[in-house]
């Protein structure tokens, strides 16, 4: 069965500090990978998605970047955090099988507070 | 761009039926998805409509009308555990999702 891991679960960082959030998927190959951010009481905003190693698409201009160094590893980074980067960060994966729509499976999330 | 609107809150009694509406604006999409999210948790997939009409999955059904830019999620035989936030989402290439504003459902006794 497939499993998605995210860490850390919670993180408190000062403004201007760097950030690295990691997401790994087990039990599947060549998944589509996604990073979302959710502000308190709001919907999810797609930040980045990846259809393969080294292939990253950014959905919104921002203070963040993403990388996919391995097939099942997706990393979200920032060189200098802003207060507005606070939120609930969720990683997700979907299969590419079938060529049509495939549901997304979400990780447990990282709750980031920037002070 | 794309945008989706949902009612912010809905309250219903245990055992009842509730409908959560979703209206959207888009220049193109593959389908409409629905996700459930409990407080502090991750979203989980409920249903997907690629074509107009009704899709039924157990107690949950979802409907899509492309001509009306409208969809809804129908929850039957409500249970206390159904208290959660529900999101509609437009599906694009690479199964990307654009989420709606979310509806918080409160089920009461």
Whole-angstrom CA distances from B16 to A113, B51, B106 are 39, 27, 12
pLDDT more than 70, % of chain B: 100
Q: Is B97 on the interface with A (CB under 8 A)?
A: yes
pLDDT at site B92: 87
pLDDT in tens, B7-27: 999 999 999 999 999 999 998
- CA quadruple B85, B88, B75, B67: dihedral positive or negative? positive
Mark B36-54 as b/e (b = at least 16 C-beta within 10 Å).
Answer: bbeeeebbebbbbbeeeee
Q: CB-CB: which of B44, B50, B100 is closest to A43?
A: B100
pLDDT in tens, chain A (115 residues): 889 999 999 999 999 999 999 999 999 999 999 999 999 888 899 999 999 999 999 988 788 999 999 999 999 999 999 999 999 999 999 987 666 678 899 999 999 999 9
User: Does pLDDT of B108 surpass 70?
Assistant: yes
Q: CB-CB: which of B97, B100, B101 is closest to A46?
A: B97
pLDDT in tens, B45-76: 999 999 999 999 899 999 999 999 999 999 99
- Which residue shows structure tokens 């201009």? A61
Instruction: Give residue B3's pLDDT band: very low, low, confident or very high (50, 70, 90).
Output: very high
* Cβ <8 Å between A43 and B101: yes
pLDDT at site A100: 64
Q: CB-CB: which of B50, B98, B102 is closest to A46?
A: B98
Instruction: Give residue B4's pLDDT band: very low, low, confident or very high (50, 70, 90).
Output: very high
Q: Is B2 on the interface with A (CB under 8 A)?
A: no
pLDDT in tens, A2-20: 899 999 999 999 999 999 9
Separation in Å, CA of B104 to nearest CA in chain A = 9
List chain B residues with CB under 8 Å of A93: none
For the record, the structure tokens of B35 come out as 């996700």
* Cβ <8 Å between B95 and A45: no
């Amino acid at each position: 069965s497939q499993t998605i891991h995210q860490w850390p679960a919670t993180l408190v960082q000062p403004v201007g500090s760097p950030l690295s959030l990691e997401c790994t998927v087990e039990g599947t190959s060549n998944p589509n990978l996604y990073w979302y951010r959710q502000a308190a009481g709001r919907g999810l905003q797609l930040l980045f998605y990846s259809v393969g190693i080294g292939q990253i698409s950014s959905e919104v201009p921002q203070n963040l970047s993403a990388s996919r160094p391995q097939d099942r590893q997706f990393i979200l980074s920032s060189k200098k955090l802003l207060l507005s980067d606070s939120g609930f960060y969720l990683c997700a994966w979907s299969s590419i099988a079938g060529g049509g729509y495939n549901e997304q499976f979400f990780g447990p999330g990282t709750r980031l507070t920037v002070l | 761009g794309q945008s989706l609107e949902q009612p912010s809150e809905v309250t219903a009694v245990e055992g009842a039926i509730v409908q959560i509406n979703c209206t959207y604006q888009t220049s193109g999409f593959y389908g409409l998805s629905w996700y459930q999210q409990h407080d502090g948790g991750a979203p989980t997939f409920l249903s997907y409509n690629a074509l107009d009409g009704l899709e039924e999955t157990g107690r949950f059904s979802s409907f899509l009308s492309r001509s009306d830019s409208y969809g809804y999620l129908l929850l039957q035989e409500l249970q206390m555990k159904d208290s959660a936030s529900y999101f509609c989402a437009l599906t694009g290439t690479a199964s990307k999702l654009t989420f709606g504003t979310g509806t918080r459902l409160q089920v009461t006794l």
